[in-house]
Amino acid sequence: MSLYHILSPLSDFVAMIAAYFAEIWEFLIFIGNISAVIVVLVGAILWFTDVNAGRGKGLVLSGILLAVVVQYFVIYPPAFVMS
């Protein structure tokens, strides 16, 4: 009995777990993109209608920062997404 024969089920299990992590990662990226758009839109509405201009500016900047962070993780994904 070789070592490869023993490790084959374990490596299949690790590949399956990595595939699940990759699916979860894609869903989180999707949620991050949608939430960045929503935060920027709500912030712009608050800012330009003068309901709460200070909070609106903060939300717009936070939404832009969130979009940049999400885009960073799209460009440089973790190792389980690349394999």
C-alpha 23/C-alpha 20 separation (Å) is 5
Angle 66-72-74 (CA atoms, 0-180°, nearest 5)?
105
**Per-residue pLDDT, 81:** 62
**Mean pLDDT of the 31-54 span:** 95
Q: Which two tokens stand for residue 34?
A: 């949608």
> Residue 80: is its pLDDT beyond 70?
no
Split at pLDDT 50, 70, 90, the class of 18 is confident
> Residue 41: is its pLDDT beyond 90?
yes
**Mean pLDDT of the 54-80 span:** 92
Please give the single-letter amino acid code of residue 43: G
> Residue 43: is its pLDDT beyond 80?
yes
